[in-house]
Amino acid sequence: MEAAEMTSPMTTITDVNELKRIASQVRRDIVRMVHAVNSGHPGASLGCTDFFVTLYFNIMMHDAKHFKMDAKGEDAFFLSNGHISPVWYSTLAHSGYFPVAELNTFRKLNSRLQGHPATEEGLPGIRIASGSLGQGLSAACGMAEAKRLDKDESTVFVLHGDGELQEGQIWEAAMYAAHRKLDNIIATVDYNGRQIDGDVNDVMGLGDLKGKWAAFGWNVLEMDGHDIDAIIKTIEKAKAMRGSGKPTVILMRTEMGQGVDFMVGSHKWHGVAPNDEQLKTALLQLEETLGDYPEPKK
């Protein structure tokens, strides 16, 4: 595909401080969204906020105002660990995929913002349902195959939880991507070491995760998921590996609950919403930078 046919990013923000300001607002949205319905998954949503903001506002070539399901000529993102929908919804909204005000419908009846991402009501930015774990890498492989068939040079991104890697389908897809030399895939693992029942190492340890991916035939990179500068540089490095004939995975170290002191680093906030008092405490720690989404009309 000619470079001219590629979609231009709507907004490429290179100023790290500006990205941090967006991340602060996304974190506010996350805690407000889960608090409003007393359900949802704040832990890894907060942990992946810096990654999402960097991906959508700095890295990806995408056109938020003209969402294309087929992603022809633009980068595609799949969220395999669908339970961290709050961070995705907030990032999509602030990117321009749908009105920020719609965040106040999260997990409510008749909303496009389902508890886990879904396509049924046509929410722009979502290409496949996820929630039942382990399925996103396969879908990313299919999209990557189609892009190669169509000589479309854009990239397929996919995010996984580390606990999610306990699902066998992940490794079927990992084998497939390497065998098929799908070097247009960049997978990221949210390597926070926690899952619902406790530490990943206690529940079902992943062992030598770097070695596992390498043995499956992948390029393996590592990064600090809370250092926006490092995220930009690492993903650029991953993109430069196009042509290696190998897919690339980035093991991203994060802390569950990042940004809220009483949530950080504990699996207890995987899928629990803050109460009124806890919400107040959390919001004091997160600057309102872009304006909070409005409360729903009573």
Partner 1 sequence: MEITVSPEKKDTRSGFGQGLLELGASHPDVVALCADLTGSLKMNAFEKAYPERFFQVGIAEANMMGVAAGLATAGKIPFTGTFANFSTGRVYDQIRQSIAYSEKNVKICASHAGLTLGEDGATHQILEDIGMMKMLPNMTVVVPCDYNQTRLATLALAEHHGPAYLRFGRPSWPIFTPAESGFQIGKAQLIKSGKDVTIFATGHLVWKSYEAAKELAAQGIDAEVINIHTIKPLDIEAVLDSVSKTRCVVTAEEHQRNGGLGDSIAQVLALNSPLPMQMVAVNDSFGESGTPAQLMTKYGIDTADVVAAVVRVLKRKK
Residues of this chain that interact with partner 1 (CB under 8 A) are: 69-72, 76, 78, 118-120, 127-132, 134-147, 149-150, 168-169, 172-173, 175-176, 179-180
Query: Which residue's CB is nearer to partner 1, number 16 or number 146?
Result: 146
Nearest distance from C-beta of residue 245 to partner 1, angstroms: 17
Strand partners of residue 188: 159, 250
Nearest distance from C-beta of residue 175 to partner 1, angstroms: 7
Query: Which residue's CB is nearer to partner 1, number 120 or number 276?
Result: 120
Query: Which residue's CB is nearer to partner 1, number 104 or number 135?
Result: 135
- 8 A C-beta contact, residue 251 and residue 209: yes
Query: Which residue's CB is nearer to partner 1, number 151 or number 298?
Result: 151
Query: Which residue's CB is nearer to partner 1, number 139 or number 220?
Result: 139
Nearest distance from C-beta of residue 34 to partner 1, angstroms: 22
Query: Which residue's CB is nearer to partner 1, number 66 or number 179?
Result: 179
Q: For residue 76, which phi and psi values (nearest 5 degrees)?
A: -120, 145
Question: What does the alpha-carbon distance between residue 174 and residue 249 come to, in Å, rounded to a whole number?
Answer: 10
Nearest distance from C-beta of residue 194 to partner 1, angstroms: 24
**Cβ neighbours of residue 6 under 8 Å, at least 6 residues apart?**
61, 73, 74, 153, 154
Nearest distance from C-beta of residue 72 to partner 1, angstroms: 7
- 8 A C-beta contact, residue 96 and residue 152: no
Sheet holding 76-79, edge to edge: 76-79, 156-161, 185-191, 248-253, 219-224
- 8 A C-beta contact, residue 279 and residue 31: yes
Nearest distance from C-beta of residue 160 to partner 1, angstroms: 13
Indicate the SS3 state at residue 83: helix
